[in-house]
Amino acid sequence: MRSHKETYIKYEENRDALFVFGAGASIAEGAPLQRDILKLIYESDDDQINRSEAAVQVRTFINENFDTSEGVYPTLESVFGYLDYFISKREGLGNEYTTSRITEIKEYLIRLVHYIISKPSGKRDGAYRKFWNLVSGKNRNISVVTMNYDTFIDESFDFLYPDRAYIDYCIELMNYHHYHEISAFDWWVNPREPVPVWDGGDPKPIKIIKVHGSLNWKYCNCCNQVLLTAWDTKIDLESMGFKGYIHASCENPETVEFDLTCPLDGNSFDTFIVPPSHIKELSHPAINKLLDETAIEIRKAKKIVFIGYSFPEADVHIKALFRKNIRADTEIHVIDPYLNNSIISNYKSLSPAPTFYEKTFENFIKDDLLNLIDSPNKSKHSDAASCAGV
């Protein structure tokens, strides 16, 4: 039986590469594009969507405030931006749409977005798994920032634990404290504290910074804590609540589903995602922490690799974050199979000479990833060893 010791695992002073993922990176795993989400809300054949009060209310609001007569739907950003305008001004929209009603419709829309993104598509091709395989074998001195709510990048990481890497989500999780009320299945190792290192293992901490939140994060506005439900992202549109699971075991051969509430105070959880809107609410302390951690990683990165991200107009705060913190000598690499003048211009406003790859995430992994994550220190060491006849 393997033994282990508790020890700190530390980050290197600088990062060889920072990977920034947008929606284009998750297409290969079956995630819907943001522009298709409203279409799915309107035209889905999913019974839970079509029976839900949430979908009825959202469709009615959009039909009464946007032109959908030709079957063309507004952007998600414009709908959220419209809702947020009235909420931020504390104004109503006629006697039917009071501020509280508009706030309720926004929450309905957020939960519909959560439901659609969390549904398994069956189309996954393992692009993120291939990414982590190469990172594990070549160079783990990297970090990740993702704008995506989906959990593909987290779930593909599992084989690295515990001998190769630990995920650092860069926020304080309820799961770290092993409260008696939390199932041991949901306990999580905090990589910023001493961690178990098993004989033969060599784990490194890797930051996965989900700056707009995640489907597997649940926020309790009573105790103000975040619960990570690592493998559970399901939401029920009838009850508007989240589902938890007691997974099958030798003693209990069937998985049991139950309504998930805060284990500390029984309060209903809120979604922890920042919706796409031109008027973003970024005052949440956890979001501020994530943005601060992102700024640190931008400053530390020798290379920044953007994958499937185009700096949409609703993400002006992200562009500002990079513009303020990027170093003049940092290499910028951009992977996008649909490069156009607008995307190219966005990146040239960050760096005078970014390198562009007009290819998919999968092809980038196959053709270019190893070269980009090659550590300069390792290369110099190898050359010296070769000269010494080693």
Looking at residue 41, what DSSP letter applies?
A: H
pLDDT digits (tens, 9 = 90+) for 40-94: 999 999 999 999 999 999 999 999 999 998 889 999 999 999 999 999 999 999 9
3-state helix/strand/coil string of 370-385: HHHCCCHHHHHHHHHH
Second CATH level (architecture) for the domain 4-30+124-217+273-379: 3-Layer(aba) Sandwich (3.40)
pLDDT tens profile 286-314: 999 999 999 999 999 999 999 999 999 99
Tokens describing residue 207 = 């930051």
The rounded distance, in Å, linking the Cα atoms of 205 and 127 is: 21
Query: Domain map of the chain by residue range?
Result: 4-30+124-217+273-379, 34-118
Round to whole Å and give the CA distance between 373 and 138: 7
pLDDT of res. 387: 32
Residues 134-148 have pLDDT tens digits of 999 999 999 999 999
Q: Residue-wise over 154-182: b if at least 16 C-beta within 10 A, else e?
A: bbbbeebeeebbbbbbbbebbbbeeeeeb
pTM above 0.85, yes or no: yes
